[in-house]
Amino acid sequence: MPHFDTFNLLRSLHVIAFALAGGSAAVILLLVGFEESREDLQGLTSVLWKRTAAWGFRIALLLGLALLGMKFKAGAEPFQALYLHWKLVLVLLVMMFSEMSPKALATRKRGAPLLAFVLFLLTVFVSVNHDAFGFKAPKTNLGSYSGTLEKGK
> Has residue 98 been placed in a domain?
yes
> Has residue 19 been placed in a domain?
yes
> Has residue 23 been placed in a domain?
yes
Q: Which helix (H) or strand (E) holds 25?
A: helix 6-37
119 CB-contact burial (10 Å; exposed 0-12 / middle 13-18 / buried 19+): buried
pLDDT digits (tens, 9 = 90+) for 78-135: 888 888 999 999 999 999 999 999 999 988 888 999 999 999 999 999 999 988 877 8
> Has residue 118 been placed in a domain?
yes
> Has residue 119 been placed in a domain?
yes
Number of domains in the chain: 1
Q: Which residue range forms the structural domain that includes residue 36? A: 6-133
> Has residue 25 been placed in a domain?
yes
pLDDT digits (tens, 9 = 90+) for 29-45: 998 888 777 777 788 88
